[in-house]
Structures are given as structure tokens and as C-alpha cells.
Amino acid sequence: MIPIRDTQPSNTVPVVTYSLMGIHLLVFLLQLQVGLTDNVFFYLYGLVPAKYTVPEVSRHFTVINQVFSLLSYMFLHGGFFHFLGNMWFLYVFGDNVEEHFGALRFLGFYLMCGIISGGCHFLLNPVSMVPTIGASGAIAGVMGAYFLLFPKSRILTVIPIIIIPWFVEIPAFIFLGIWFLIQFLNAAGSSAGSGIAWWAHIGGFVAGLLLVKVNEKLPETGIRKKIRPFTMKKHTPRLQMIVTSGSPDSLDLYGNIDITSLEAITGANKMVTIPWGFYKPLYKVRIPPGVKQGTRLRLSNMGKSIAGGVKGDMYLAVNIKNAI
């Protein structure tokens, strides 16, 4: 299962999420320069439990390095697909969680999830000499928070069936629940020398759940309200999932498409997907300039069909967000 995007709206630009992705990219480019097989680099900046528990190992590292490694390990990756997969999951789930916490608190939340996930791995592998690297634990925390905050959101997921991409909507609590179950089963069946820190994923996910509750107890500082006007989105997602409805006695279908007030003025091009299994999953929709709230766009022959090739139309009502 590969998540494409979620249906939970986000009204602000996830500045911290994008910044974290940028930092991860810069570090990965540095790794490419150093060499992805440079074990010395991974021992210096990765999380190696033996650095802290085995005297013969710890004496080779300074206290500063030991402390810094608790943060630096989560910005390293072992390869391109490791990096790409982590960044994609952060992109899909990070924006809504950041909007809930606010930019500064989200940064603290992300780093805490990474530290806690590393601590979980450390407690279960206290003398391991294998470097643990990757943002997976911190991102698992983001996914844990999403699971708790937006369980009814739906995840547009592509499931490859041989060579055919099948687009399907999966409720967030099911998608993330399956993900967590897979991590747990892998953790239970893995050995201490496993190349993937499954328990770090589990620790990060649980940390995300707990830190959401902790955040509810903290007082507001007012910083989020001051920053929000500068981070409001100017555009809605280019790809949108359309949930349609209709009546039994009509071939026409009805749905909604989201745009911003700026897009209502200038017009926009969108790609929409309608959960009809294998039948034409993606459509291009042109939003003409000057549309108003509630304007209906007619998409010919995209409604229901009956025997003989007769098809109805689809009508998409424009929903203008962030109206000015």
C-alpha cells in the first residue's frame, strides 16, 4: 500500500514539514558525497547503543558526540529508497499534524518523537554495535499523532495489482492500524541484529499518541495566531479525491471540488480521482477564472452508465476555501 494523499484539509503551508524535508535532503546529498557505505560516518553520527554502555567502545567517542548522535541519527539514511520513502510519508501526514500543533510545537514534537523512538531501540538493544539511522521513528510519531487526531480521514492509496494501479480510499485508522500491526509483527519476529529498528518505529508511534495528549495540557502562547496569516495556503492540492452522490432515478452524479479564493480569481487546473476501482482513475478538471462559491462544473459522460453505452454527467460544486 502506497499512500498518495489524504482527504483531511489543511489550510496552512507546512513550513516546518517542508524545512525538515529540505534538511533531510541536504544531509542525504552530503552522505552521497561521503559515500553511503562509509561505516565510520554512520558510527560517528548514527545511534549506536554500545557508544553509551560498552566502555571499550564509548571511550572512542566524546560526550558531545554521544549527545549529538541522539539527534543526528534521525537525519541519516541508508539509501535512496530509504530516504524517499520516509520523506513521502512525512509529506503525506506531516501537514495536518503541523497545523494542529503549530509550527514551533510541531518541530519540538518531531524531534521528541525521534529521540523517544531511539530510546526505545536503545532499551531493547543496549549493547548493540549496529548503527541505527533514519527518520522512520520520528515520522512514526507523526503517523501516531495523525491516527489519534484524524481517524476518520481517508487515505488515497494505490495498490499495485500486477501492472495495474488500483486507487482506493482507506480510512486513516485502518491504514495506520495496518501499518502499526506490520511493524509489531516484524519487531516480534526480528532478531537483535536485524537491519531495521522495528521497535523504534513502534516507540515513535506510541510517542506520537502520548505527546498529542501532553500538548492538550499545555497553555497556548499566542505565537501560532501571529504566524498563521503568513502561512495560509494560496492553492488547494492539485490532486483531489471526489466523493460522489446521486439518486437512483438519475444517471448524473454530484460532488465538490475545493479551491482557494485566489484560484477562484485566476482559474486552476486540477487532477481528480473518483474511487471507481480500475475504471479511469484520474481526470483533468479545468477551473475557469471568476467562478463563485457553489458554481457547478459539468463533466460530460462522467456519471453513471447503463447498458447501451448511455452515460450521465458529473457536476462538481466549487467550494472556495480561505475566502477573502
Q: How far apart are CA 195 and CA 117, in angstroms?
A: 16
Pair 256, 109 in one domain: no
The mean pLDDT of 260-286, rounded to a whole number, is: 77
- CATH of residue 307's domain is 2.60.260.20
pLDDT at residue 308 tops 70:
yes
pLDDT grade for 192, boundaries at 50, 70 and 90: low
pLDDT at 45 over 70: yes
Q: What is the pLDDT of residues 196-226, one digit of tens each?
A: 788 899 999 999 999 999 999 988 887 877 8
pLDDT at 309 > cutoff 70: yes
Boundary-marking domain end, from 195, 230, 265: 230
pLDDT in the model for residue 206: 96
Tell me the whole-structure pTM to 2 decimals.
0.78
Rounded mean pLDDT of 303-312? 82
C-alpha span between 4 and 286 (Å, rounded): 21
By residue range, what is the domain housing residue 24? 2-230
Residues 105 and 247 in one domain: no
By the 8 A CB rule, do 202 and 183 touch? yes
Percent of the chain residues past pLDDT 90, beyond the cut: 57
Whether residue 191 has pLDDT greater than 80? no
Residue indicated by cell numbers 492553492: 235
CB neighbours of residue 114 within 10 Å: 27
138 shares its domain with 50: yes
Whole-number mean pLDDT of the chain? 88
Helix axes 103-124, 223-231, angle to 10 degrees: 110
Is residue 167 pLDDT above 50, yes or no?
A: yes
Alpha helices (runs of H) in 46-171, residue ranges in sequence order? 50-53, 55-58, 63-72, 80-101, 103-124, 136-149
